[in-house]
Amino acid sequence: MLQINLVAALAALPLLLGLGTAPAAAPVSAPAAAAPTTNVQSDVQAAALQPASARQGAARTDSVQEAKMQPAKVRPPASGPSVKVVDTTAAISDPAWFKKAYDAGIRLYVMHSTAWGTCDPWYRTQAQLKMALDAGLKIAVYTRDATCWRGGISAAGPYAAQLQFFALDVEPGSPPVTREMVDGVRSMGVRPVIYSGSGMWPDLMGNSTAFADVPLWDTNTATNLNYSTWTADYLAPAPVQYGGWNTASTMRIGIQQKFEHSLNGVPVDLNSFNASFLK
């Protein structure tokens, strides 16, 4: 038994001695080839550079494509800055009235500029326009008879160059407006606008859309405006389409909102205008 064990021990000696040597180093394999840039990686990198809203939009591609297939809805523009405006036929002799109007937030004064019932310049026109300008108000004029456009503008005299516009009045009792009137106002260096309403234009002008290129001064006094809480908003009441106006591209520039309000003792109509229309 001892001999057998000794022989076995001697046979195992090389194995025992081998346990003290360091194991052979693992062969170094060739470096793996760099993985090609995938579309996913490109998309992730691009997304990281986009604002959050764009990234969220990219995740809804199907919804966006579907939405693009839907017809666009025509909506009024968001209500931008509006200004308070008064129009009147009244004689005003006190400069303080205009100053009080300005202090009350009024920014445009529109007056009837010919002697009532005629096309002759009203003798008070220039004096009242001057008082308005001196108080810081902008000015414009109109005539109840649109055929009186030449006399109405001439009545402003030296202040004609400062007129924001001349309004061609289209309401019951007025003659139909013509392209010659519009062009005539422009020929005198003044911007033409048309004053009318959805309850008047269709009957008086056959709902013609031939004047949709002329800015509209609209009228709708059905809301019973309360002056004490009045905030200028040229999109209130909601615009009604007629005559080619009040679309996204032909939105009115002003709206008459109340008739015959007594402002410091003077009867005026209250209006809101798009501030961006005024010069």
Closest CA to 252 of 123, 165, 151, 148: 165
Each as own residue / partner, the long-range contacts of residues 185-192 (CB below 8 Å, 24 or more positions apart, any chain) are 185/149, 185/153, 188/150, 188/153, 188/160, 189/160, 189/161, 190/153, 190/160, 190/163, 190/165, 190/166, 191/163, 191/164, 191/165, 191/166, 191/215, 192/149, 192/165, 192/166, 192/167, 192/168
Q: Report residue 7 as tokens.
A: 């022989």
Residue 36: which region, alpha, beta or left (left: phi > 0; alpha: psi -120 to 50)?
A: beta
| pLDDT mean for each 10 residues of the chain (279 residues) | 41 42 40 40 36 34 34 49 98 98 98 97 98 98 98 98 98 96 98 98 97 98 95 97 98 98 98 97
Contacts of 225 (CB under 8 A, 6+ apart): 257, 258, 270
In the chain, what are the domain boundaries?
A: 82-277
| Claim: this prediction has a pTM higher than 0.85 | no
CATH class of 82-277: alpha beta
pLDDT value for 60: 33
